[in-house]
Amino acid sequence: MIKDKYFRLIFIPLLGIVIPFFSGIISYSLYSVPQIIAINFYFILLSFCIWSGASFIHSRIRFLFNNFNNPIVKVFSVSLIGGLFGAAISGLFSIAWYKISKENFSWPPVFRCIAFSSFAVLLFTLTYEILFLGSQRNLYSKIVDQLDWERSKAEMSALKNELHPHFIFNSLNTLSYLILNDPKTAHEFNSKLASVYKYFLINKDRELITLDGELEFIENYFFMLQIRHDNKLHLSTELNNSHGGTLMILPYALHTLVENAIKHNEFTDANPLCIKVVLNGEYIHVINNKKPKLYSVNSTGVGLRNLGSRYMLVCHKNILVETTENEFIVKLPIIKSTLNYA
């Protein structure tokens, strides 16, 4: 239930004074000051009973109407029950008041007291519904964000689990060939392979890494890709090195985009796949030339979608995807930090 301590401290006494005053149920000239104070405490007790009862109804009865999809029906139902409760309690207190007071019994003040009490319950219900729905929306938003984060982590874990066996198998085959045919390149390839796998192990649970660290990884990784694909791939970077290592990026972000470009495009010696990483304004642009494969690619789109979800969850920014006749462009938001992640 919503914490309403301050509402109670202010509005229960105020309601206990206002209801009898406007209903005309008290002839103040008949009583002394101490008696008027005692009478006000009596009607503050009425106010307390109305408030507590309406609060109980709001916290308990409203859940019986969860099957109503229309919130207006739900609020009306809770308000009606609360109003009937307020009318009944104020009616009983009003009649009891006439029994113990110096007043001559009259129905109009009783009806006015009931009407004011019911109106107070209506205001109470509407106020609590606004506060309750607001707190529920914040709670649901946090739950959805948490679920999105868990889904994103699960998808990323699945991608990494798929990557490692596939990556190691291809790399070992390439390394085996190089050892027999080009020992010098095999030594360099083995060094790059160790650096790439070290990156996977160190950064698998991190949310952010420095752009410099990610670029070092992608250059090592790209060297291995060029060996495997006979230099049909080209990578270039256009970065301003004055950022001092304070620019951050999500781990595997560039890797995801490089793999996406290789997966969806044809490339040959005559028409290589060219990938550029450009620091431009508030975004890191990853650009590749387009030459879609002639056959359909079995793609779920998880990689790019997952990358967008991770950016939204980590820094609340969207990645931007643009496509032209000749280029496919993904813009990754720049994340600035003074922390040393890598």
- Residue 96 covered by a domain: yes
Query: What is the chain's mean pLDDT, rounded?
Result: 79
CA 101 to CA 113: how far, in whole Å?
16
Dihedral, CA of residue 59, residue 60, residue 65 and residue 69, to nearest 10: 30
- Check whether residue 122 and residue 202 sit in a common domain: no
- Residue 271 covered by a domain: yes
The angle subtended at Cα 95 by Cα 89 and Cα 101, nearest 5°, is: 125
Contacts of 56 (CB under 8 A, 6+ apart): none
Question: pLDDT tens, 255-310?
Answer: 889 888 888 888 888 889 999 999 887 889 999 998 888 776 555 556 787 788 77
pLDDT of residue 164: 57
pLDDT of residue 289: 92
Question: pLDDT tens, 81-140?
Answer: 778 888 888 889 888 888 888 888 888 888 988 888 888 888 777 777 666 666 666 666
The pTM score is: 0.53
- Check whether residue 94 and residue 196 sit in a common domain: no
Positive/negative CA dihedral, 127, 130, 133, 134: negative
From residue 152, alpha-carbon distances to 237, 252, 311, 316 in Å are 28, 13, 10, 14
Which residue reads 């250059």 in tokens?
219
pLDDT of residue 297: 58
In the predicted structure, residue 17 carries a pLDDT above the cut 60: yes
CA 152 to CA 146: how far, in whole Å?
10
- Check whether residue 186 and residue 116 sit in a common domain: no
Dihedral, CA of residue 55, residue 60, residue 62 and residue 67, to nearest 10: 170
Task: State the total domains in the chain.
Answer: 2
Positive/negative CA dihedral, 87, 89, 94, 99: positive
Residue numbers of the domain that contains 242: 182-336
256, 304 Cβ separation under 8 angstroms? yes
In the predicted structure, residue 254 carries a pLDDT above the cut 70: yes
- Check whether residue 118 and residue 201 sit in a common domain: no
In the predicted structure, residue 66 carries a pLDDT above the cut 80: no
CA 296 to CA 216: how far, in whole Å?
32
pLDDT of residue 3: 55
pLDDT of residue 63: 62
Tokens representing residue 59 in the block: 């916290």
- Check whether residue 112 and residue 199 sit in a common domain: no
Q: Which amino acid is at 72?
A: I
Who has greater pLDDT, 48 or 171?
48
- Residue 230 covered by a domain: yes
Tell me the average pLDDT across 22-36. 87
Who has greater pLDDT, 342 or 71?
71
Tokens representing residue 168 in the block: 């190691």
pLDDT of residue 322: 92
- Check whether residue 305 and residue 199 sit in a common domain: yes
Strand order in the sheet with 320-323: 233-238, 273-280, 283-289, 327-333, 320-323
Tell me the average pLDDT across 137-149. 69
Confidence label for 152 from pLDDT (cuts 50, 70 and 90): low
- Residue 174 covered by a domain: no
**In 3D, which of 58, 196, 74, 214 has the Cα closest to residue 121?**
58
- Residue 317 covered by a domain: yes
pLDDT of residue 4: 63
